[in-house]
Structure 1
């Protein structure tokens, strides 16, 4: 057999959470940076294929390639850390504290932001020939998408904030399942399939992902989109981060932990 049972996967999840908490700051930032770079390039591939084909679902089909690559390389997204790192604390692993959990979230998130901003700037240079020509069709797609999900939410007020928050919950429910999928098989092919399915769902349904948005919105602003940093933070990134924490932790990792690591007594015993 090349797959693991759910109870074995959950133990791997707890071990992974503990390992992240005990990882050096340098490695957390480095792995986060590389994850941000790779995931951002996957967004570019997805948007480019959508523009070329005119079919949104095609972008969703190709986007998971970036997630699979970064996961197989052992790089870290803060969205996965939102779900996994607290499990080590819940399981009372020695030396694990809530301060350690927050440390992982902070340093991995910083690395993700650094990687995303690097790629955003370089892609902006590429799409505009070093800012010497007008944005092409792909660049216009980035401008439209980033504007709709920042200024568009701001125009809706509290309803827009809640919409972003709910989409972020669903997003990290799927993304953490993708992270867990990498632990579900002994073969690369099995891991890729298990990761591809939930990541496809999140992108196809246009849910809100913290690291994707660390790239998409700065790129939109660099290309000339009509919104500012405050709008992005208040009506996208902040509700996205909060929603991703709720989705990854409460909707994915805690249920698995409770039913497979802290299993209730069998009926009749």
Structure 2
């Protein structure tokens, strides 16, 4: 007889499990946090590379379909993080749930966020340097580099308010993906719930700080390596400012999701 159990836990059970996980994350040794954070930055970087590749190779498709295809490719990054195991800053913004329960303190929260963010940045930069070293920017007779440069320029040219709002929306979707994956019963179920929200935020052009840790340097280094014309507004300084605004937006979006579920399911406990 086939198993009639649901493929995903009910939301209230996911809330309790996520809260326990957040407490565990807040108490991880620094070395472990950094190691897992570097891996997460690299894993998301792989998703970025695939998204740029798809964007370079499907130019004949209508705009919306091109963006969706790139989003599906980018989902590889979060799949690797959640199934292989790594520490991702944007997912860890859900730790506001454990903070609201008073199971962790503000100092523990900021320590966890700070270590993971920096480790994600290191992993992303190492991945991008390896990609450039491997000559990926030369793929498609320079189409890969052109795609990377165009995407980086688009991200760097947005206003602060636009980036913050976009970052809020992006991490709402990412944290919903993390939330559903936490309750999924199997690896296949986890992949099934991860892909749609991740593909959606990429297709909509929203700002994910950890993805930008690879996408922005990738565009800048591809421009340097190929000697292509530098688009107006794209620079290392602009990339850094964009990254900080997207981080703020991601904290608001993901932290808000965590607080919402705490208020709905765990506040009375």
Counterpart-to-counterpart distance in 2, 1:62 and 1:223: 20
**Distance 1:87-1:136 versus aligned 2 partners, 3 A rule:** same
Structure 1 match to 2:163: 164
Structure 2 match to 1:246: 252
**Which residue of the other structure, out of 148, 155, 171, is the alignment partner of 2:154?**
148
TM-score (norm 1): 0.87
Gaps of 5+ in 1: 154-159, 265-269
Shift of 1:166: 0.6
Counterpart-to-counterpart distance in 2, 1:65 and 1:212: 12
Question: Is contact 2:57–2:143 with CA below 8 Å preserved after alignment?
Answer: no
**Which residue of the other structure, out of 114, 123, 127, is the alignment partner of 2:131?**
123
Counterpart-to-counterpart distance in 2, 1:134 and 1:259: 50
Counterpart-to-counterpart distance in 2, 1:44 and 1:238: 21
Structure 1 match to 2:102: 92
Counterpart-to-counterpart distance in 1, 2:136 and 2:264: 52
1:91-110 mapped onto 2 (5 Å cutoff): 91-93=101-103, 96-110=104-118
Count of aligned pairs between the two proteins: 250
Structure 1 match to 2:238: 231
Counterpart-to-counterpart distance in 1, 2:13 and 2:83: 19
Structure 2 match to 1:70: 81
SS of 2:205's equivalent? coil
Structure 1 match to 2:174: 175
Q: Which runs of 4+ in 1 moved over 6 A?
A: none
Shift of 1:263: 5.1
Counterpart-to-counterpart distance in 1, 2:89 and 2:166: 17
Question: Is contact 2:67–2:202 with CA below 8 Å preserved after alignment?
Answer: no
**Which residue of the other structure, out of 54, 69, 76, is the alignment partner of 1:58?**
69
SS of 1:136's equivalent? helix
Shift of 1:46: 1.6
Structure 2 match to 1:48: 53
Shift of 1:128: 6.4
**Which residue of the other structure, out of 76, 88, 93, is the alignment partner of 1:82?**
93
Shift of 1:76: 1.4
Structure 2 match to 1:13: 18
**Distance 1:31-1:119 versus aligned 2 partners, 3 A rule:** same
**Which residue of the other structure, out of 260, 263, 268, is the alignment partner of 2:265?**
260
**Distance 1:221-1:134 versus aligned 2 partners, 3 A rule:** farther
For the aligned residue pairs, the C-alpha RMSD in angstroms reads 2.0
Gaps of 5+ in 2: 60-65, 224-229
Structure 2 match to 1:29: 34
Counterpart-to-counterpart distance in 1, 2:35 and 2:132: 23
